[in-house]
Amino acid sequence: MESHPSHPSLKPLARELAALPCSLGPVRLVGIDGHAGSGKSTFAARLAEALGGAPVLHLDDVASHEELFGWEERLRSQVLEPLAGGRPAHWAPYDWVERRFGPERVLEPAPVLLVEGVGAGRRALRPHLARLLWMETPRAESWQRGRRRDGRELSGFWDGWERAEHAHFSRDPSRPFADTLVRQSGTGYEWTSGAGGTTGTPTSVTDGDELPRA
């Protein structure tokens, strides 16, 4: 996997997030939500780098085939409660190939923790978030991007996913509660944050070599 240099355009956003009050014990929990295929993982990686190596928790590792969106209690008990008490979180990521949860991992409390995935801004998580970011990629474009990325062999999974995601956001929408909207341009990212609506200056982020992850 190619290494990407730090991107100055995200530095102001990183400073803004690092200056927020703690929201989960000693942690500033920042949610990055959006449709599957909208570029959340790629953006989270860039933002984590701008934050000096902040940890990223991927909700794909918390969900499972049987619980695409039913992972709320598992996240609460394994991650949120320990971090709220200033303790390391012990959790087991899901293996989507083996269809089982793998070896346990440890997540230490950090000044900023990014949690990215569809549902990162769900009702149950919002009280614990210092900031909620939403990827402003339209649903149809996001899903097409995700299907192209994953190939024909996963088309059946995507059929089921689209129905599940649509049902989830119908019951528990995230975008109306987002503090920051992130848009991807041909050369980088732009974002609108807070009541003042400040916008970051875009810069090159993909080097033209890969589609964003979900």
Q: Is 98's pLDDT higher than 80?
A: yes
Confidence of residue 187 (pLDDT cuts 50, 70, 90): confident
Q: Compute how many other C-beta atoms are within 10 angstroms of the C-beta atom of residue 28.
A: 22
Q: Is 170's pLDDT higher than 60?
A: yes
Q: What separation, in Å, do the N-terminal and C-terminal C-alpha atoms of the chain show? A: 16
Q: Is 14's pLDDT higher than 80?
A: yes
Confidence of residue 141 (pLDDT cuts 50, 70, 90): confident
Hey, CA dihedral for 66, 69, 72, 75, is it positive or negative? positive
Q: Is 74's pLDDT higher than 70?
A: yes
The mean per-residue pLDDT over the stretch 78-100 comes to 94
Q: Is 81's pLDDT higher than 50?
A: yes
Which of the two residues, 28 and 194, has the higher pLDDT score? 28
Q: Residue 107 corresponds to which tokens in the numbers above?
A: 């997540």
Q: Is 140's pLDDT higher than 80?
A: no
Confidence of residue 212 (pLDDT cuts 50, 70, 90): very low
Confidence of residue 103 (pLDDT cuts 50, 70, 90): very high
Give tens-digit pLDDT for 33-65.
Answer: 999 888 899 999 999 999 999 999 999 999 998
The model's pTM: 0.85
Q: Report which secondary-structure segment, H or E, holds 16.
A: helix 11-18
H-type alpha helices, 63-125: 72-75, 81-84
Q: Considering the chain, what is the average pLDDT of its residues?
A: 84
